[in-house]
Amino acid sequence: MKHPTRWAASGVAVVVVILAIVLASQVHSDPRAEERTNALTGHTVPAFALKTLDGAALSKRTLSNKAVIVNFWNTWCIPCEQEFPALRTFYSRHATDPDFEMVGIVRDDTAAAVRDFVAAKQVGWKIAMDPGLDAVLAFGVRGQPETFAISPDGTIVDFQYGPSSIGRLEQMLSEARAA
């Protein structure tokens, strides 16, 4: 080897070029794009069976024939707490609509903490516990909060990853009713 420094420099240059090509190919992708989509959008609500805090059955069947907003949350989730005022205001606007239902499904939490939260915050919509993560897995939930809009025919028509605003919830309900 007459010129070991040249060989080393050439090797480094090749690695840098390859790295630059890989990085340049990723510039167009949006790392948060996955948060705006859900594979279930446009498909029928998956089968699940839970109990609400008052012991009533909650399933795909019990949600049929209404526009439904399903919100996955828990009591220790800071974004869920930030979202709560919007959920309360939105629900108060639609609580008496005969074609509307709102459901909170709790994941990764204790029944005692949820009951205390529901009582303290005077939550008016149905709340169900998902201790076996049946609904979480069926809906493909990745975190909390996550919110789904379901049409009266049982099709998931919209999805929100992260906290929802009142405006976004209204949009989701409109899409559910229009489907």
| 62 and 13 belong to one structural domain | no
Predicted pLDDT of residue 64: 85
76 and 3: one domain? no
Question: Quick one: 115 and 167 in the same domain?
Answer: yes
Q: Say yes or no: 54 and 126 in one domain.
A: yes
Task: Specify whether the backbone of 89 is left (phi greater than 0), alpha (psi in -120 to 50) or beta.
Answer: alpha
Q: Judge if 54 and 16 occupy the same domain.
A: no
pLDDT digits (tens, 9 = 90+) for 93-151: 999 999 999 999 999 999 999 999 999 999 999 999 999 999 999 999 999 999 999 99
What pLDDT is attached to residue 14?
63
pLDDT at 5: 73
| Per-residue model confidence (pLDDT) at position 73 | 97
Residue 34 CA to residue 56 CA, distance in Å, equals 34
For the chain, first and last CA: distance in Å?
72
**Residue 33 reports pLDDT greater than 50:** no
d(CA 107, CA 126): 14
- Number of independent structural domains in the chain: 2
Q: How far apart are CA 176 and CA 137, in angstroms?
A: 22
Q: Return the H-helix or E-strand segment holding 157.
A: strand 156-161
Q: Residues 23-29: what's their mean pLDDT?
A: 52
Instruction: Please indicate, yes or no, whether residues 15 and 50 belong to a single structural domain of this protein.
Output: no
Q: Would the pLDDT of 69 be above 50?
A: yes
* 81 shares a domain with 154: yes
Containing structural domain, residue 18: 1-29
The predicted pLDDT at position 32 comes to: 47
Q: 120 and 57, same structural domain?
A: yes
Are residues 104 and 23 located together in one domain of the fold? no
Q: Can you give the CATH number for the domain in which 126 is found?
A: 3.40.30.10
Residue located via tokens 């805090």: 53
pLDDT number for residue 173: 98
What band does 31 get if pLDDT is binned at 50, 70 and 90? very low
Together in a domain, 17 and 105: no
**In this predicted structure, which of 9-13, 18-22, 145-149 has the lowest mean pLDDT?**
18-22
Instruction: Looking at the structure, tell me whether residues 5 and 69 fall in a common domain.
Output: no
pLDDT at residue 155, rounded to an integer: 96
